């Protein structure tokens, strides 16, 4: 299921019992809580460990902005050893395990 603003608007802020994650491609996904809170993340592997980088919460960050932050994270990932060393967006986001 592709990530779209229409789908996110239907889910946001309402009780939700569907899948807890909607993929957006190349590691971008939206995590959805049972209460309908949505957060964007970039999932990747560093060595043998799975990592997640928060890209912001829906409402504070649009899907377009999340895709831009994801593209920036991909550029950093291509040139960096670990994304832990690089803030990806202006509010200083970091990786979470």
CATH of residue 45's domain is 3.30.160.390
Q: Residue 70: helix, strand or coil by DSSP? A: helix
Indicate the helix (H) or strand (E) that contains 68: helix 63-79
Q: Cα 85–76–22 angle (5° rounding)?
A: 100
> Quick check: 67 pLDDT over 80?
yes
**Residues 22 and 39: beta-carbon distance below 8 Å:** no
What pTM did the predictor assign? 0.78
For residue 39, CA distances in Å to 9, 28, 47, 69, 80 come to: 13, 11, 25, 13, 24
Tally of CA atoms within 13 A in the half-sphere of 27 that contains its CB: 18
Q: For 26-66, write each residue's pLDDT tens digit.
A: 999 999 999 999 999 999 888 889 989 999 999 999 999 99
Tokens of 84: 């832990």
Number of domain units in the chain: 1
Domain range for 27 = 5-96
* Of 18 and 83, more confident: 18
């Amino acid at each position: 299921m592709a990530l779209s603003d229409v789908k996110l608007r239907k889910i946001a802020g309402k009780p939700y019992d569907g899948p807890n994650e909607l993929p957006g491609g190349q590691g971008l996904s939206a995590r959805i809580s049972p209460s309908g809170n949505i957060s964007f993340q970039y999932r990747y592997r560093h060595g043998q460990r799975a990592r997640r980088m928060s890209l912001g919460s829906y409402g504070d960050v649009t899907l377009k902005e999340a895709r831009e932050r994801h593209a920036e994270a991909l550029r950093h990932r291509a040139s960096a050893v670990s994304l832990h060393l690089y803030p990806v967006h202006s509010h200083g986001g970091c990786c979470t395990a």
